[in-house]
Amino acid sequence: MKRIFTLCIVLCTVLTGFAQTDTTVKPSDTIKVGSMIIIRKPGSNRDETSKDKHIIISNGNRHYKPSNISTNWVILDIGFANYNDKTNYASAVSSGFVSTDIGKDQMKLRAIKSVNVNIWLFMQRMNLIQHVVNLKYGLGLELNNYRYDNEAIRFHKDPTHIDIDQTLVDANVKKNKFAADYITVPLMLNFNFTPHHGRGFGFSAGVSAGYLYSARQKIKIGNDRSKLHDDFDLERWKLSYVGELNLGPIRLYGSYAVKSMWSKGLDQTPYTVGLRFSNW
């Protein structure tokens, strides 16, 4: 509101100046209000109705010269985490990895509450071809929280075993989640169709490599919380196909792992999708 009020005052001042009779030709006047640029072009001013006099209003941020290497610090992703479950549960039961009361239905996630949050410490974009084709890479943390529909699921360690905890069946379980966090390096080929605009249109596609640094199950019953930390026979390394879509001010991201996140027992391939908050 303040910005619009200031702009109105400036426009009124400029228009008032045009209404005055002046027999001399003046050079262009440039006034900048925030990101708005107002340019008063010179005219003959012999006639107050002269069509030579005009105003140009432009957005100062619309056009810029991109650098060959640009860095974006602290990017935040917020989205949903899930997995494609192709587990042979008869085999998982016979191996002792899950109990006989565990199946695909019991391992089903609450999609709306299974959250993925990525914190990219930095991302860099390096020009390859006319700023339209770029190499994009970075470093960050992938935080995946899987919320189970069945809140009686319990993980055990040494060795890893998953079962239904009967003490949780009738308990006031407020939260039962499994978390897997990774240090991740993405590498993508970026196509920017509007290289001279700050918030342009384009997409990126590539791969990422993540290293598991933390895994845990957290159960909240009333005001009591319990955590169990272990690797739970998860794969230490996670390779994923990654991509992003730039639609002006809106940025979307997604990932799909190359294979199951478990080294044995379960065959669940994780994927994510969500919004990216980034400068480019």
Among 181, 202, 211, smallest CA distance to 276 is for 202
Using DSSP's 3-state secondary structure scheme, residue 94 falls into: helix
Hey, which bits of the chain come out as E strands? 29-33, 36-41, 54-59, 69-85, 115-129, 133-147, 153-156, 161-164, 173-192, 201-221, 224-229, 237-247, 250-257, 268-277
User: What DSSP state is assigned to residue 111?
Assistant: G
Q: What is the pLDDT of residue 7?
A: 45
Which residues of the chain, if any, have pLDDT below 50? Answer: 1-5, 7-8, 10-12, 14-16, 18-26, 34-35, 44, 46, 48, 60-61
Q: What is the pLDDT of residue 33?
A: 53
Per the listing, tokens 């006099």 go with: 53
Q: What is the pLDDT of residue 73?
A: 96
Q: What is the pLDDT of residue 63?
A: 56
Per the listing, tokens 């379960």 go with: 266
User: Residue 167 belongs to what H/E stretch?
Assistant: helix 166-169
Q: What is the pLDDT of residue 4?
A: 46
* Residues forming beta bridges with residue 260, ordered by sequence position: none
Residues 6+ apart with CB under 8 A from 103: 89
The angle subtended at Cα 189 by Cα 185 and Cα 195, nearest 5°, is 120
Q: What span, in angstroms and rounded, lies between the C-alpha atoms of 96 and 85?
A: 18
CB 55 within 8 A of CB 41: yes
pLDDT tens per residue, range 168-184: 988 888 899 999 999 99
Q: What is the pLDDT of residue 77?
A: 98
DSSP secondary structure string, 220-248? Answer: EETTEEEEEE--TTB-SEEEEEEEEEEET
Q: CA 33: distance to chain centroid?
A: 31
Using DSSP's 3-state secondary structure scheme, residue 64 falls into: coil
Q: What is the pLDDT of residue 31?
A: 60
Q: What span, in angstroms and rounded, lies between the C-alpha atoms of 280 and 197?
A: 10
- Per-residue tokens: 61: 């941020």
Q: CA 264: distance to chain centroid?
A: 30
The length of the chain, given as a count of residues: 280
On whether the pTM is more than 0.85, the answer is no
Q: What is the pLDDT of residue 36?
A: 55
User: What DSSP state is assigned to residue 250?
Assistant: E
Q: What span, in angstroms and rounded, lies between the C-alpha atoms of 151 and 279?
A: 39
Buried (b) or exposed (e) across 163-192, using 16+ Cβ within 10 A? bbbeebeeeebeebbbbbbbebebebebbb
